[in-house]
Structure 1
Amino acid sequence: EPKKSGFWSRNKEEDTEESEEADEKTEEKKSRFWSRNKDNDSSEENDEEEEPSGMFSFITAKTISEKHLEDILWELEMGLLEGDVAMEVASAVVDSVKDDLVGRKIKRSNDITEYTYNALRNAVAEIIDIPGKSMTEMIEAKKAQGEPLVVMFVGINGTGKTTTIGKLANYYLKKGYTPVIAAADTFRAGAIEQVNYHADKVGVKLIKHQKGSDPAAVAFDAVEHAKAQGKELVLIDTAGRMQTNTNLMDEMKKIKRVAKPDLVVFVGDALTGNDATQQASKFNEAIDLDGVILTKADADSKGGASLSIGYVIKKPILFLGMGQGYDDIKEYDADWMLNQLFSESGEEVNINEA
């Protein structure tokens, strides 16, 4: 079965069958949030004079009021929450849709479907587009100053943080830069071995100390190495014990104080949805994040993390992990993400398309 993509295309096949049975000439199906009411809409339009009731019965009034939208906005909010969208984000989307629709004049029942779709798309577009400089732009700016860009990566174990560092090293090697990786997760010997594996695979220098050594010292040495060798990018791997661990947060603060990173980037698993957003919030409160990278974005059919995380912490998404290979990473593009969230094609995502 073809891979389903898009935030609300999960029930596409079922919705399509219902729409075709109800009316073969129904306009192109939009989000599942309102496609489930399409049959009711058609019957209500036909029976308006006899019994003007139901979700879209207000079409006789020609003007949309807040009262008329109660049912559809409730369903929209429930659908967002089911998709692992954070509560405050779901509320923001619903409020935006309501503000966009209330007071609009309509001529036919189908107008409400089109207006609601457009209002929702506009609301989501605003939420996922958090302004910020790209990492590539920042590398160039630091290079002009004769300094490397220092990036510190944080996040809990199991989110793909170390693999993401390997992907970014490969990404910027292919762009003509020379990265160096710091194995500053000295809490586990396995973590040093893992980052060493990725550094060897992509062909970049790894700065490492023994297990149990000071993580901040490793990060400092990597920065000094990059400056001495004229390398443009330092990628600092860090420990990822639970985000509520006070010692871990103190360790992150020390690394940040010693290495003085230009960017502190949270790496989160898109498949964990609201959990990733909560983790990012914890790290942001402790050490002040500058951006986010979401892994496994290619497998996320709900879209909750991509829709919520930037809005909640007010920091931009920088990259998306799109698969297992070193080339499977792309710089975040809000327009591309918007199209993915509203996609109903069910086709495989082409990660090379911006």
Structure 2
Amino acid sequence: MFDGLKDKLNGFREDVEDSAEVEGEVEADIEAGVEADVETEAEVEAEESADSTEAGRADPEASDAESEASDADEDSDGPGTFARAKAFATGRIIIEEEDLEEPLWELEMALLESDVEMSVAERILENVRENMLGETRKQVETTGELVESALQDALLDVISVGQFDFQRRIEGAEPPVVIVFTGVNGVGKTTSIAKLSEWLADRGYSSVLANGDTYRAGANEQISEHADRLGRKLISHEQGGDPAAVIYDGVEYAKANDVDIVLGDTAGRLHTSDDLMSQLEKIDRVVDPDLTLFVDEAVAGQDAVQRAKQFNEAAEIDGTILTKADADSSGGAAISIAYVTGKPILFLGTGQEYDDLERFDPEELVDRLVGE
């Protein structure tokens, strides 16, 4: 999962290591030269000091000018060259802009090629630069370890946005907890409902399914098959019925039968469909769900990111489920959606079975992407 992105991030680490190694060799040569010439420099400085003293007695203004010129020459080299040479010779290394310029450009291209949204890529680059630039590390803490730490911090910053404990949120809500699922057709929304029902059952929660997808031919049959396999109650109306009424009936059934959670499907809708979006707004008014979850495919990449953003703007979502995460090499949607919407990814679909639903853990994902 996300192997392509992992390879690209490892490539960035190798690029920085190579760049720092070259700089280190140059700096070691500089420091060796500094040490070899120290006696000569001392002698030259003594002679110059004597000459300067004599010149100063003859012409004080000339002495001041020479002093200023000497300072200017020292400044022109900048403190970085000598400081870095000294740091390297004493077993330390300083990361500077020139070490990062080309590797960061390569990283930006790699992120964009992996379908990471532009603003998210820019944020990651900014964080990596801030975390590394000017940093001094002992050589026993390798440059690779420094890069790994910077990448971990930068990725967590964008992936962890809005994270909350899903199970604790359910425990803290008054039953029945109503969860509505939305998204476009064909992304695994109904299957995700079945998987979440099983995930909840494994943790001791009962659930009822409510088919608010009353427009798609075959929708009742599809969700009914899942309900039968799982042994769950299904609430459904005839095709063309009112989706809000179906989910409302699901809530009433849950109240009457002490069911913990209502899982409401909705018609796959595009954000450009005013009619379908107005139906979702009606569901919000009639049922007032505790959570609205957006479902899309991880493999959809930038399309999934943009749809999540548009759905969140049209009808505010609380989190995302990404399906087919096991087939996604790029990882762009997983990296980008939380940062773009401000709402967390909650689950990853990782296979065809009902137990193939994985609670999304930002730290675990970052370890997969950056760790050895």
Q: TM-score range by the shorter chain?
A: 0.7 to 0.9
Structure 2: distance between partners of 1:109 and 1:87: 35
Q: Which SS does the other structure have where 1:182 is aligned?
A: strand
Q: Does the alignment pair 1:340 with 2:349?
A: no
After superposition, the Cα gap between the structure-2 partners of 1:139 and 1:59, relative to the gap in structure 1 and judged at 3 Å, is same
* Cα pair 2:271 2:314 within 8 Å, conserved: no
Q: TM-score, normalised by structure 1?
A: 0.81
* 2:210 counterpart of 1:179: no
Other-structure match for 1:128:
159
CA distance in 1, matches of 2:212, 2:86: 65
Q: Is the 8 A contact 1:244 1:282 kept in 2?
A: no
Structure 1 residue 256: deviation in Å? 1.4
Matched, 1:98 2:98: no
Q: Does 1:31 align with 2:34?
A: no
1:163 paired with 2:188, answer: no
Question: Which segment drifts farther, 229-238 or 123-132?
Answer: 123-132
- Compute the displacement of 1:90 (Å): 0.6
Please show how residues 227-266 of structure 1 align to structure 2 within 5 Å: 227-266=255-294
For 1:180-226, what per-residue CA distance to the aligned partner results, in whole angstroms no more than 9, with x for missing partners?
Answer: 11100111121221111111111101110011111111111111111
Give the TM-score taking structure 2 as reference length: 0.77
Contact (CA 8 Å) 1:148, 1:232: kept in 2 or not?
yes
The farther-off stretch of 36-45 and 85-94 is 36-45
Describe the SS at the equivalent of 1:265. Answer: strand
**How much does 1:38 deviate?**
5.6
Q: Which amino acid aligns with 2:254?
A: A
Q: Which amino acid aligns with 2:290?
A: D
Counterpart of 1:80 in structure 2 is 111
1:241-289 per-residue CA deviation (whole Å, 9 max, x = no partner) reads 3332222211211111111100010011111112111111011001111
Point out where structure 2 has 5 or more consecutive residues left out of the alignment. 31-80, 88-93
Aligned twin of 2:5: 8
Pair 316,298 (structure 1): closer, same or farther in 2 beyond 3 Å:
same
When residues 263 and 338 of structure 1 are mapped into structure 2, their CA distance, relative to the original with a 3 A threshold, is same
Deviations 1:139-177 (A, max 9, x none): 3223xx4x2110000111111110000111112223222
Sort the Cα spacing of 1:209 and 1:307 in 2 relative to 1 into closer, same or farther, 3 A.
Answer: same
- CA–CA distance in 2 between the matches of 1:39 and 1:126? 26
| Displacement after TM superposition at 1:304 (Å) | 1.1
Q: Which residue of 2 aligns with 1:288?
A: 316
Aligned with residue 202 of structure 1, among 206, 210, 230? 230
What SS does structure 2 have at the residue aligned with 1:189? coil
Between Structure 1 and Structure 2, the one with more helix by share is 2
Instruction: Evaluate the alpha carbon distance shift between residue 218 and residue 203 of structure 1 in structure 2; reply closer, same or farther with a 3 A threshold.
Output: same
Q: Alpha-carbon deviations, 1:86-140, whole Å to 9, x = none?
A: 1111111100011111222356699543322221111112222234433322332
Q: Are residues 269 and 343 of structure 1, via their aligned partners in 2, closer, same or farther at CA, if it must alter by over 3 Å?
A: farther
Correspondences of 1:218-229 after superposition (within 5 Å) = 218-229=246-257
Q: Quick one: which amino acid aligns to residue 232 of structure 1?
A: D
* Paired residue secondary structure (1:8): helix
Contact 1:185 1:237 (8 Å CA) reproduced: yes
CA contact (8 A) 1:148 1:233 kept: yes
Kept in 2: contact 1:199–1:206 (CA 8 A): yes
Larger radius of gyration: 2
Mapped contact 1:41–1:109 kept (Cα < 8 A): no
The farther-off stretch of 266-275 and 123-132 is 123-132
Q: Distance in 2 between matches of 1:9 and 1:125?
A: 15
Measured in 2, the distance between the counterparts of 1:90 and 1:61 equals 35
Residues 251, 61 of structure 1: CA spacing in aligned structure 2 closer, same or farther, 3 A cutoff? farther
Other-structure match for 2:120:
89
The one-letter amino acid paired with 2:129 is K
Question: 2:347 is paired with a residue of what secondary structure?
Answer: strand
Offset of residue 240 of structure 1: 1.0
Contact 1:303 1:341 survives alignment (8 Å): no
SS of 2:226's equivalent in the other structure is: helix
User: Contact 1:180/1:235 (CA < 8 Å) preserved in 2?
Assistant: yes
CA contact (8 A) 2:176 2:254 kept: yes
Q: 5+ unaligned residues in a row in structure 1: which ranges?
A: 12-29, 51-56, 345-354
Q: Could you tell me which amino acid in structure 2 is paired with residue 102 of structure 1?
A: L
Say if 1:234 and 1:116 are closer, same or farther in 2 by CA, change over 3 A: same
SS in 2 for 1:249: helix
1:70 alignment counterpart? 101
Helix, strand or coil: the match of 2:262?
Answer: strand
